[in-house]
Amino acid sequence: MKAPVRVAVTGAAGQISYSLLFRIASGDMLGKDQPIILQLLEITPAMEALKGVIMELEDGAFPLVAGIVGTDDANVAFKDANYALLVGARPRGPGMERKDLLEANAAIFSAQGKAINDNASKDIKVLVVGNPANTNALIAQRNAPDINPRQFTAMTRLDHNRGMAQLANKLGKTVNDITKMTIWGNHSSTQYPDLHHCEVDGKVAIDQVEQDWYEGTYIPEVQQRGAAIIKARGASSAASAGSAAVDHMRSWALGTADGDWVSMGIYSDGSYGIQEGLIYSFPCTCKDGDWSIVQGLEVNDFSRGKMEATEKELAEERDAVSHLLP
Ligand code: NAD
Ligand code: LMR
């Protein structure tokens, strides 16, 4: 058996965590041979609810769980952590955009960035799920100067998975037939699901759908899927978000399949002309616990316009929280 790794999860008594924690505990995220110590963070008023979640985790009798810590102190939660899933934040309600949460949630991520910087293992892998995820990840990253910016990522894997599922439905296929899906940009309604490089049965996806459907149905439905779920469920997506978080971390830690890639919100190095330092979703391959941006994809005028629109929104979000960016 390997030595246990420490996995910090914030918002551990919330909706997403209620499915996410049990998937992590069962080994879906880091593998069935990787023991874990769960370090769970909540705000003080939710500590009683967290106690209940920990009781249920214990009752799951998960062989891989080597310890569970529940705390309302970020310094304890991130102590020596190798992985952190930053889920704890307010979700949006009907009629809101995710960026409307910026004011309510931004302060959480500056404090947690500092706590990660001061306490976590220097090789920590951070995934921000709490919305607006890309800009919250930027805030956390900028508040953790001793940690490589590449180690702070934001979740667009849910959008990636949604994009594959909608395309599979349209073509009477399953997600197993689809590779090279790409989400560019922000986890918001400006995100750009790109079918120009995506393949279905090894053939380019954009050639298998009508342009009208792509522009008029597919792109807006993927962009608005979160809002559609809030309308239908009366609460934001939870189990699918938890599942996407498991997928994101598993790909990053254990690698992507040959001939395929995933979408990750990552620190832009200027690839594809995207401003350096924004947390922007790119197509990525992962190997040996590190990600690389897929290079050399052709970008036509249509795609360029969409990629720039979502980049502009991220730059505006960044400028709106400049007081939290040391
Ligand atoms: P929730 O309200 O059910 O749970 C959030 C939990 O976070 C609560 O238990 C709350 O007490 C806790 N919390 C608040 N502030 C905290 C802090 N400073 N430290 C630790 N914990 C704190 O919400 P949810 O449905 O689990 O969603 C959580 C976040 O994830 C929301 O912002 C939501 O919009 C976002 N989300 C993102 C994606 C994505 O694809 N990136 C998908 C779904 C949801
Ligand atoms: C989602 O995409 O489902 C989440 O970001 C929740 C939301 O606010 O849409």
Confidence of residue 103 (pLDDT cuts 50, 70, 90): confident
- To the question of whether residue 105 is assigned a binding role by annotation, the answer is yes
Q: Is 166 in the pocket of ligand 1 (CB under 6 A)?
A: no
> ipTM higher than 0.85?
yes
Q: Whose CA is nearest to atom 1 of ligand 2?
A: 226
Q: Is 226 in the pocket of ligand 2 (CB under 6 A)?
A: yes
Contact 7, 245 (CB under 8 A): no
Q: What is the pTM of this model?
A: 0.98
- Give residue-wise pLDDT tens across range 105-158: 999 999 999 999 999 999 999 999 999 999 999 999 999 999 999 999 999 999
Confidence of residue 171 (pLDDT cuts 50, 70, 90): very high
pLDDT at 99 over 90: no
- Give residue-wise pLDDT tens across range 222-278: 999 999 999 999 999 999 999 999 999 999 999 999 999 999 999 999 999 999 999
pLDDT score, position 277:
98
Taking the CA of 155 as reference, the closest ligand is 1
**What is the Å distance from ligand 2's center to 35 Cα?**
30
- Give residue-wise pLDDT tens across range 59-79: 999 999 999 999 999 999 999
Q: Whose CA is nearest to atom 7 of ligand 2?
A: 226
Q: Is 41 in the pocket of ligand 1 (CB under 6 A)?
A: yes
Task: State the average pLDDT for the chain.
Answer: 97
